[in-house]
Structure 1
Amino acid sequence: MKIVVAPDSFKGSLTSTEASQTMKKAILDLGYEDTVVTKPMADGGEGTVDALLTASEGTGIPITCTGPLGEKINTYYGILEDQTAIIEVANVAGLPQVPATKRNPDATTTYGLGEVILDALNRGCKNIIIGLGGSATNDAGLGMLLALGMEAFDKNENPIGIFGRDLANIDRINVENLEPRLNDIQIQVACDVDNPLYGEKGASAVYGPQKGAKEEQIMSYDTAMKNFASLIDPDNKNSFVSGAGAAGGLGFAFLTLGANLVSGAELVGEASAMEQTIRHADLVITGEGQSDEQTLYGKAPGYIADLANAHGIPVILLSGALSRDIDPLLQKFSGCYSITNRPLSLESCMDQAEDLLYQQTKQVVHLVHRISEAKQLS
């Protein structure tokens, strides 16, 4: 059989590339002489750069830039053969980079993201893909825009700082010195949420708490983002565009730069020629760390299932944890299986994720082969 393996990451345990290789090894170890094609997936969050570099044979670019807490960090982004830069917010201003005790949107910044974009421009990139998930910030892209040449001032005409806390003090902005090369490039932003910039479903209200925001901060940030939007986008074209509130308002900042916000899974899938690969498969296996009905809406496994179903290919979901009600999932997947095969704590499951995924992959593919053999005999 030709089997396409296209998992998302098992967050906190395995990257999508690691999961793909684990699943491939499990299948080949069965000895059925299957052809296994690995296509690591992502939906704009963790693993987007690695997934696209693996699928497109791009190059990782190491860089030192400003991290989410304002310190210098060593990280990387990718450049594909067609000079498209792949930049992952989680690698530059990501929540995992900030210890739980230091999570406070007042003290985080997206400044480093602007630095990475400038580096890509200096290397001649004309297209940029941004993976928008996993940010530790809630600054509406203020830091990034400052790094790209925007100027901002308080009511006393003092320059504004680069952190989230500085958003509330903005009285005037100047975009005349914004990096001119931005006008000549295409920016695509991989986004898997539909929140507006501000309001009850906005960036601060919905995602602020996971970044350490207290209730009083959420209200303050909501007001600050509304004010910032009125200055940089006076016609209010972008504040309520679906995804403007993604990554602490970075979606909004990219919209003001003329970017297109698109489905992260779809963007990664198109860049890696996913549909062309799946249509010639006999079986597709995808996976992720936790699955429920939301898997069907914008998440990588749901996207893979749609492609497989469109071509009549059976598609199996392997997950670290399944919702109790899997009926919605079974509308798209041929089968859904948890990789947990015995009572284990969450910590143990994450520590043993590689072995658990290996064992469950073997079980499922072995079953598929035995069913196929039985049909041939009958």
Structure 2
Amino acid sequence: MNILIATDSYKGSLDSEEVAKYIRKGAGKVFPDAKFQILAIADGGEGTVDSILRKQNGRYETVQVLKPNGGNVQARYGILKNKTAVLEMAAASGLPLVALQDKDVMKATTYGTGQLMKAALDQGCRNLYIGIGGSATNDAGVGMAQALGASFRDRDGKEIGFGGGELERIAEVDLSGMDERLKTTKITVMCDVTNPLYGPEGAAGIYGRQKGATDQQILQLDVGMKHLADLMSEQTKEDNRWEKGAGAAGGLGWGLVVFTGAKLLSGIEAILELVGFEEKCQWADLVITGEGKIDMQSVCGKVIHGISVITTKYQKPLIAVAGSIDDDSSQIYAAGVETMEACVMRPMTIENALEKTKQYLPDAAERIMRAVRVGIQMKEKEAM
């Protein structure tokens, strides 16, 4: 039997690789001759670069880039095998990089993110994964494109300045100077929000205030992004403004698609693609997943949901081992999980459960695999 173990972490207790190893320990007691593969899965959020590099034996690179509102910062990104880079735009254009007194979303730029991408290209990377959470910007990715060679000119032919407050001034977009290496580079955007570019649910409408925008500035940003979207739609004959995630990171999601040809994926979809989960799923006879607590959130773009989409596609049975399981499990089953097992077997404090996870997790894996073995035995008797 081929068994693939692909799990999230048990937050506050074990990281995802440790979870997978303890599940394997328990499962191996029941199926000692099985072949196992382990995939430790990150969720695509903050810390994804650290998590992926740790699990994929990558290395860090550091480059000096422009911060959102001026000044420089040393930004880190990761390089994996096969010329693949993993970046977080927050390292270059994130809100924590801006002091409270310097917060000005109208002038904040994603230029540093473009510099980060260029640095990865300079290292020979032709496969970029970019996490775009935690931005300080609302410039629709114009700064990013400027750093990569794009030109945005006003009616007088002058290059516009930085920030979302400049978008209304754009009269001409010239992408002919964009870095030629982008044409042979695959760019995947890890995005966990579904906001369109503008409007009440758009980039500025939902996230502008936390970046310091007033109500009047939010309206101005919306007008500017609509103007730019109209301009680019006319120029490219495509319209991506309503695509899910276009409004992520102040419109950087849209900008990456329109200016660099990137593909928007949910965080977990991108991570599963990055670690080659689909190929490994085809190898497996059984897939085991898990997370600290299984509840309704588990089927809303989290690790278990992303895995279940692929196991369902290939008709592979999926079981889950969790620290705990919420009362209503019906939606979990409907999402493609065949059965579940919780580590906790009796009433106890959270502190006690966390302390003994290393003991309880292999036991839980053994219990559920014993049930799997019973099913196999019954199937064999039916076939006789």
Structure 2 length as normaliser, TM-score?
0.75
| Paired AA for residue 313 in structure 1 | L
Contact 1:30 1:366 (C-alpha < 8 Å) held by counterparts: yes
For residue 364 of structure 2, what is the aligned residue in structure 1?
Answer: 367
For residue 141 of structure 2, what is the aligned residue in structure 1?
Answer: 141
Q: How does 1:116-195 map to 2 (within 5 A)?
A: 116-154=116-154, 158-195=158-195
SS of aligned partner of 1:63: strand
**1:259 maps to which of 252, 257, 262:** 262
Q: Does 1:112 align with 2:112?
A: yes
Contact 1:308 1:315 (C-alpha < 8 Å) held by counterparts: no
Question: How big is the shift at 1:251?
Answer: 1.6
| Change beyond 3 A, Cα 1:21–1:42 | closer
Instruction: For 2:92 and 2:353, locate their aligned partners in 1 and report how far apart those are by CA, in whole Å.
Output: 31
SS of aligned partner of 2:106: helix
Question: How big is the shift at 1:43?
Answer: 4.8
Instruction: For 1:250 and 1:297, locate their aligned partners in 2 and report how far apart those are by CA, in whole Å.
Output: 23
Gapped regions of structure 2 (runs ≥ 5): 375-384
Gapped regions of structure 1 (runs ≥ 5): 345-351
Determine what percentage of the aligned residue pairs are the same residue: 33
For residue 62 of structure 1, what is the aligned residue in structure 2?
Answer: 62
Per-residue Cα deviation, 1:166-202 (whole angstroms, up to 9, x for no partner): 3344344433322233223232223333332122332
Instruction: For 1:9 and 1:176, locate their aligned partners in 2 and report how far apart those are by CA, in whole Å.
Output: 48
Per-residue Cα deviation, 1:206-253 (whole angstroms, up to 9, x for no partner): 333444434333222111101122333324522223332222211211
| Paired AA for residue 227 in structure 1 | H
**2:305 maps to which of 302, 305, 319:** 302
Contact 1:39 1:51 (C-alpha < 8 Å) held by counterparts: no
| Change beyond 3 A, Cα 1:287–1:177 | same
Per-residue Cα deviation, 1:238-278 (whole angstroms, up to 9, x for no partner): 22233322222112111222222234322321331324545
Instruction: For 1:158 and 1:78, locate their aligned partners in 2 and report how far apart those are by CA, in whole Å.
Output: 36
Question: How big is the shift at 1:326?
Answer: 5.3
Greater mean deviation of Cα atoms: 25-34 or 108-117: 25-34
Q: How does 1:15-34 map to 2 (within 5 A)?
A: 19-23=15-19
Greater mean deviation of Cα atoms: 21-30 or 194-203: 21-30
Q: How does 1:320-331 map to 2 (within 5 A)?
A: 327-331=330-334
Contact 2:128 2:187 (C-alpha < 8 Å) held by counterparts: yes
Question: How big is the shift at 1:58?
Answer: 3.0
For residue 217 of structure 2, what is the aligned residue in structure 1?
Answer: 217
| Change beyond 3 A, Cα 1:21–1:263 | closer
Contact 2:343 2:361 (C-alpha < 8 Å) held by counterparts: no
Contact 1:308 1:314 (C-alpha < 8 Å) held by counterparts: no
Give the number of aligned pairs.
Answer: 360
Instruction: For 2:288 and 2:210, locate their aligned partners in 1 and report how far apart those are by CA, in whole Å.
Output: 34
Instruction: For 1:136 and 1:362, locate their aligned partners in 2 and report how far apart those are by CA, in whole Å.
Output: 43
Instruction: For 2:231 and 2:9, locate their aligned partners in 1 and report how far apart those are by CA, in whole Å.
Output: 38
Instruction: For 1:153 and 1:185, locate their aligned partners in 2 and report how far apart those are by CA, in whole Å.
Output: 26
Contact 1:128 1:188 (C-alpha < 8 Å) held by counterparts: yes
Instruction: For 2:343 and 2:289, locate their aligned partners in 1 and report how far apart those are by CA, in whole Å.
Output: 13
For residue 288 of structure 2, what is the aligned residue in structure 1?
Answer: 284
| Change beyond 3 A, Cα 1:283–1:185 | closer
Contact 2:152 2:172 (C-alpha < 8 Å) held by counterparts: yes
Instruction: For 1:285 and 1:252, locate their aligned partners in 2 and report how far apart those are by CA, in whole Å.
Output: 33
| Change beyond 3 A, Cα 1:307–1:315 | farther
| Change beyond 3 A, Cα 1:373–1:79 | closer
SS of aligned partner of 1:105: coil
Question: How big is the shift at 1:140?
Answer: 0.4
| Paired AA for residue 246 in structure 2 | A
Q: How does 1:201-280 map to 2 (within 5 A)?
A: 201-234=201-234, 235=237, 237-256=239-258, 257-277=260-280, 280=284
| Paired AA for residue 109 in structure 2 | T
| Paired AA for residue 201 in structure 2 | K
Greater mean deviation of Cα atoms: 302-311 or 95-104: 95-104
| Change beyond 3 A, Cα 1:73–1:130 | same
Contact 2:69 2:103 (C-alpha < 8 Å) held by counterparts: no
Instruction: For 1:44 and 1:281, locate their aligned partners in 2 and report how far apart those are by CA, in whole Å.
Output: 27
SS of aligned partner of 2:91: helix
Contact 2:6 2:41 (C-alpha < 8 Å) held by counterparts: no
Contact 2:191 2:266 (C-alpha < 8 Å) held by counterparts: yes
Question: How big is the shift at 1:112?
Answer: 1.0
- Return the index of the structure with the highest Cα Rg: 2
Greater mean deviation of Cα atoms: 223-232 or 174-183: 174-183
Question: How big is the shift at 1:115?
Answer: 0.5
| Change beyond 3 A, Cα 1:249–1:26 | same
Instruction: For 2:264 and 2:125, locate their aligned partners in 1 and report how far apart those are by CA, in whole Å.
Output: 19
For residue 349 of structure 1, what is the aligned residue in structure 2?
Answer: none
